[in-house]
Every structure is written in structure tokens, then in C-alpha cells.
């Protein structure tokens, strides 16, 4: 029985990871706090030759296009782009939509499981451990060789496509979207996974039962 609960917890880590990924992506999507930091940290102004406001204007245009609520065609306010570049952002938007959809379904599933009282201590603890393992593996892989991890990611999520290999001459937006920025985004989402794992471990913590006196013991103490 305990083994089944442990395996159930390990399986539960999948919807937890999907929900945490959607939440992390959403936080990066609706706010430009990380990108603003990277403009300074990565010196994007010098690399692109553009002023900060123009950089932000084009970045916001990309984020607006990738929004699940946007129905507009891809366009940039001041940078040229190729048909291949626009096609890549269209592919990226489909992935964003898929992540948000999967995250929403996962959140609904977790609510149902919680109401059905199927998230006991053992399940939560094993799910928490499984959820913490993946961020460690991902971060270790990126630390060892981020360039290879970056290529593998694109081959997995954009199978058969080569339009993610931007040409600086035809798609200068690559100047304002350096690989290091995506590394920082990946680290942030991995941190969201770690937080989700920690919350599961906290939910599965053992509680110490309160020591209560029996009526007879209370009576004896009262007569002392």
C-alpha cells in the first residue's frame, strides 16, 4: 500500500511541474522585471546599438504577440524581421498556449484530488521529492553545457524546424534576445519547480500529536 502511495506521489509530480511551469512562465510573461535586469547585466544596449526604450518597445511587442489573448499578427515597432523569424514566434506562441493549457488542467486536477482527500502525507512527500529532483538535473545540465542544452531544447520542442537559428542580418531582434537571457528564464522556472517541491514537502510533513490528559489523570493532579 505504501509503495502505491509513493508511486502515486511520483506521478503526481508531473501535473505539479506543469502547473509550476505555467505559473513561472506567466510571471515572466506579464512582467519585464527579469528582462530589465538583463538589459543592464548583459549590456544589451551596447550589443544591439539600441537605446533602452527601443529595446523594451520591441521586447514588449514580442511578449504581447505571445499572449494567449492576442489575435494580432507578428510585428515589431522598429526592427525588421523575416518570414522565417515570424514563423518561429508563431511556433513559440503555440508552445506558450500549450503550457498555459496544460498548467490550467493540472491545477484543476490538483484541486479535484485535494477535495477527494487523495493527497495524503506520503503522496505529498514523494511528489515533493520527485519535483525537486528535476530542477537539480536541469540546472546541472545547463551548468555543464548550456549551449548544448539550448540546442537540445529547441530540437525537442521545435522538431524538424530550423527557423530558430536566427540570422542577425535578417532578424536583428536576436541582438536583444541573447541566449543568456533564456538561461536566466530557465533558472527562474526551475526555481518555481523547487518552490513547488518545497511546498509539497511542507504539506507532507509529519505533525506531532498533542498530548492530552485522561480524565482520571486530570482528577489526580487536581487533588495533589
d(CA 18, CA 105): 9
Residue whose C-alpha cell reads 549590456 in the numeric block:
43
Predicted TM-score (pTM) of this structure: 0.85
From the number of C-beta atoms within 10 Å of its C-beta (0-12, 13-18, 19+), residue 74 rates as: buried
Helix (H, G, I), strand (E, B) or coil at 76: coil
204 φ, ψ (degrees, to nearest 5): -95, 15
Tens digits of pLDDT across the chain (224 residues): 566 666 766 788 899 999 999 999 999 999 999 999 999 999 999 999 999 999 999 999 999 999 999 999 999 999 999 999 999 999 999 999 999 999 999 999 999 998 988 888 888 888 889 899 877 887 888 888 888 889 999 999 999 999 999 999 999 999 999 999 999 999 999 999 999 999 999 988 864 444 444 555 445 444 54
Residue whose C-alpha cell reads 522598429 in the numeric block:
78
C-alpha cell at 73: 499578427
Residue 56: per-residue pLDDT: 98
Residue 122: per-residue pLDDT: 85
Residue 120: per-residue pLDDT: 86
Residue 212: per-residue pLDDT: 46
C-alpha cell at 25: 512562465
Residue 216: per-residue pLDDT: 53
DSSP line for 118-166: ---HHHHHHHHHHHHHHHHHHHHHHHH-HHHHHHHHHHHHSTT--TTS-
CB 129 within 8 A of CB 197: yes
d(CA 197, CA 17): 9
Residue 18: per-residue pLDDT: 95
Amino acid at each position: 500500500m505504501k509503495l502505491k502511495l509513493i508511486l502515486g506521489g511520483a506521478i503526481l509530480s508531473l501535473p505539479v511541474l506543469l502547473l509550476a511551469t505555467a505559473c513561472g512562465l506567466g510571471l515572466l510573461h506579464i512582467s519585464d522585471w527579469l528582462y530589465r535586469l538583463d538589459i543592464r547585466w548583459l549590456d544589451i544596449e551596447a550589443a544591439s546599438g539600441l537605446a533602452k526604450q527601443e529595446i523594451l518597445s520591441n521586447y514588449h511587442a514580442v511578449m504581447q504577440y505571445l499572449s494567449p489573448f492576442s489575435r494580432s499578427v507578428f510585428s515589431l515597432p522598429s526592427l525588421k524581421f523575416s518570414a522565417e523569424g515570424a514563423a518561429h514566434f508563431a511556433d513559440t506562441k503555440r508552445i506558450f498556449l500549450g503550457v498555459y493549457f496544460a498548467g490550467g488542467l493540472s491545477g484543476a486536477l490538483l484541486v479535484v484530488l485535494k477535495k477527494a482527500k487523495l493527497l495524503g502525507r506520503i503522496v505529498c512527500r514523494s511528489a515533493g521529492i520527485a519535483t525537486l529532483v528535476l530542477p537539480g538535473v536541469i540546472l546541472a545540465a545547463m551548468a555543464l553545457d548550456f549551449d548544448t542544452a539550448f540546442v537540445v531544447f529547441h530540437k525537442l520542442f521545435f522538431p524538424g524546424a530550423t527557423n530558430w537559428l536566427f540570422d542577425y542580418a535578417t532578424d536583428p531582434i536576436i541582438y536583444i534576445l541573447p541566449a543568456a537571457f533564456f538561461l536566466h528564464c530557465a533558472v527562474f522556472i526551475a526555481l518555481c519547480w523547487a518552490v513547488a517541491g518545497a511546498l509539497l514537502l511542507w504539506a507532507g510533513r509529519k505533525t506531532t500529536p498533542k498530548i492530552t490528559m485522561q480524565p482520571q489523570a486530570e482528577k489526580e493532579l487536581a487533588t495533589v
